[in-house]
Amino acid sequence: MVKALSDTYLTFKTIFTGMGITFRHLFTKSVTVQYPLQRDVLPERVRLKLHVNIDDCIGCRLCERACPVECIDIGTIKSTDDDDLGETSTGHKKKLWVDKFDIDMAKCCYCELCVHPCPTDCITMVEEYEYSTYDRNDLIFPFSDMTPEQIEEANRKLEEEAEAKRRKKEEAMLAKKKKAEAQAAGGEAEGDKPKDAASGGSAETSGGGDKEKAARRAEREARRAARRAEREAKKKSEE
Chain positions contacting ligand SF4, by CB under 6 A: 50, 52, 57-63, 66-67, 69, 71-72, 74, 103, 108-114, 117-120, 122-123
Rounded to a whole number of angstroms, the minimum distance from the CB of residue 43 to ligand SF4 is: 17
> How far is Cα 179 from Cα 181, in angstroms, rounded to an integer?
5
Residue number, 116 or 176, with CB nearest to ligand SF4: 116
Rounded to a whole number of angstroms, the minimum distance from the CB of residue 87 to ligand SF4 is: 13
Are the CB atoms for 60 and 109 separated by under 8 Å? Answer: no
User: Exposed/middle/buried for 107, CB within 10 Å: 0-12, 13-18, 19+?
Assistant: middle
Residue number, 98 or 157, with CB nearest to ligand SF4: 98
Are the CB atoms for 97 and 138 separated by under 8 Å? Answer: no
Residue number, 7 or 128, with CB nearest to ligand SF4: 128
Q: Which helix (H) or strand (E) holds 50?
A: strand 49-52
- CA nearest to 77, candidates 103, 111, 102, 100: 100
Residue number, 115 or 158, with CB nearest to ligand SF4: 115
Rounded to a whole number of angstroms, the minimum distance from the CB of residue 82 to ligand SF4 is: 23
Rounded to a whole number of angstroms, the minimum distance from the CB of residue 125 to ligand SF4 is: 7
